[in-house]
Amino acid sequence: MTEKVIVEHKGDETSSSSIEDSLRELPTSLDEIDPKIEASIRRKCDKRILTSVTLLYLFAFIDRTNIGNAKILGMQEDLDLERDNRMSICLTAFFITYILFEVPGNILVKKLGPKIALPAISFAFGLVTMCIGFCYNFGGLFAGRFFLGIAEAAIMPGISYTLGTFYRRHELITRVGIYASCASLAGAFGGLLAIGFSYIPPWGIMHTWRNIFFFEGILTMIAAVIAYFMLAKNPETASFLTEEERRIGQLRIQLESMTRKHEDLKMAHFKNGILNWNTIFLSLGLFSSLLCMNSIAVFMPSLLSEMGWGTVETQLLTVPPYALGCIICISSSILSDRFKTRGIFLYGMAAPFMTIGFAVLIALPDHMGPRYMAIFFATAGAFTGSPMFVGWLVDNTAGPMTRAIASAFSISAGSIGALISTWTYLPEQAPDYLAGNIINLVCAILVFVGAGLGTFYMNWENVQREKGNRDHIIDGLTQEQIEDLGHKHPSFRFTP
């Protein structure tokens, strides 16, 4: 892609002649950018941006799923959640608001910038998590989960949008994989934290499961404050980059996306981001993958407990499957960027792992060893597939506002699967949970479908553009309209 873009520079003390000289020195294509400068930009962004968002997502997922750990440590009995599916109702409350607020939340991230928005969001859901520790009945827990969904709604699409602001497309999946691997890391780390906090002697009204929410909420708010001092709004304002790196860092994203620097929200952004086959196919895959991932994340302690292990053993046995999921997720993400391909890791690895895992859980309801092994497979597949679908969509959506809307919409659609997951493993189905495992097996197969259709469409569309069959799109358009095309521009190539 060799499209030229206009780069704006600010600074009252800079003369117009020096600005013109500076503009003439800037590369006009991606091939002209010095690889050493790009490598330096990546290293510095990894230290500050990637580290910050990874920390925030780690605590976001811990705060979202710690209810599963608290359940088997006495919360269900203390709050009278055993009757009328009250636990599932509280889990559902989170995802209802989570889904509704994702798109507006991600637009807010785009408007305010990640430096302000992401720490504010994280501080908010840390505060709500801490307050859940003070709940005394079903209504209080329902309200807490309801507001936690609002607070967390923009964190995943917001982080994905942020990474797309600092990294080029072939650098993106590795970073998405690293931050999203915290979902599996949070499962492992969360189980250990739950044990540690539950052993703190009672103090005031705090004890066992209440300590989990209280202290994890405090840790989240501390992480949010730290992130504020580490994040930047965009490469151009990143104080940790040199002047040259700031200019090149902003330019390389503009050149690759072929989009103007500043955008006002338009209806065209919603159409480009939502009404295209790319978003539809990947949203189907993400819906299925997130259903499986959240089923495992919330109900793994329950599944293991029903296999006959005690409370402490159950918490400890959640760690190895999550650890494997983390390793597989990061490894797949790195390889995906290195080979510049996405779909094969989903339909060739994540989906088969999930299918094998849930098939074994269905076929061998009375065999503890194989069932525990099946959880390893299901966890590795689901916790790899979900972040890769998110990164794949961000990779193939151009234009900052369009990308923000597309990623938020896709995660909202995917979160409907997460909402359904709260009803997959009901107490009356114990101990084999046949219905829940069948639902997850069907979704594992749908991951094949979403990834396969997405790969086919992107390859086909790239062929059409290579043949020139999309060149007519820019006929008669103004320069501004051409720059608004984003991934619909005939020169844009999808990563299948």
CATH number (domain holding residue 391): 1.20.1250.20
The structure tokens listed for 366 are 């009375």
Determine phi and psi for 203, rounding to 5 degrees: -140, 120
CA angle 187, 437, 350 (to 5 degrees): 60
* Residue that is written with structure tokens 């203390």 in the block: 78
CA distance 107 to 496: 27
pLDDT for 401 equals 74
Would residue 238 count as lying in a domain?
yes
Would residue 76 count as lying in a domain?
yes
| Virtual torsion, Cα 59, 63, 67, 72, nearest 10 deg | 30
pLDDT for 204 equals 82
pLDDT for 48 equals 95
Would residue 2 count as lying in a domain?
no
pTM for this structure?
A: 0.77
Would residue 310 count as lying in a domain?
yes
Determine phi and psi for 206, rounding to 5 degrees: -85, 135
Of 382, 308, 312, 388, the residue nearest 352 (C-alpha)? 382
Would residue 17 count as lying in a domain?
no
pLDDT for 446 equals 96
Cβ proximity of 170 and 256 under 8 Å: no
pLDDT for 376 equals 94
Whether cis (ω within 30° of 0) applies to the bond prior to 431 is yes
Q: In terms of C-beta density within 10 A (0-12 exposed, 13-18 middle, 19 or more buried), how is residue 5 classed?
A: middle
Would residue 22 count as lying in a domain?
no
pLDDT for 314 equals 78
CA distance 79 to 86: 10
Q: Give the ranges where 153-207 is alpha helix by DSSP (H).
A: 155-166, 169-180, 182-198
pLDDT for 263 equals 58
Would residue 282 count as lying in a domain?
yes
Determine phi and psi for 482, rounding to 5 degrees: -65, -40
Could you please report the per-residue DSSP string of 436-470? Answer: HHHHHHHHHHHHHHHHHHHHHHHHHHHHHHHTTTT
Of 177, 163, 114, the residue nearest 394 (C-alpha)? 163
Domain range enclosing 346:
38-488
Running along the chain, 496 residues long, what does each successive block of 10 average in pLDDT?
39 41 60 87 95 92 86 87 87 90 85 93 96 94 95 88 87 82 72 82 88 94 96 92 91 73 66 84 93 85 78 79 88 88 93 96 87 93 88 80 79 85 85 91 96 95 93 84 79 89
Would residue 309 count as lying in a domain?
yes
Can you state the angle between helices 208-230 and 51-70, rounded to 10 degrees? Answer: 170
Give how many domains the chain has, as a whole number. Answer: 1
Name the E strands within 312-437. Answer: none
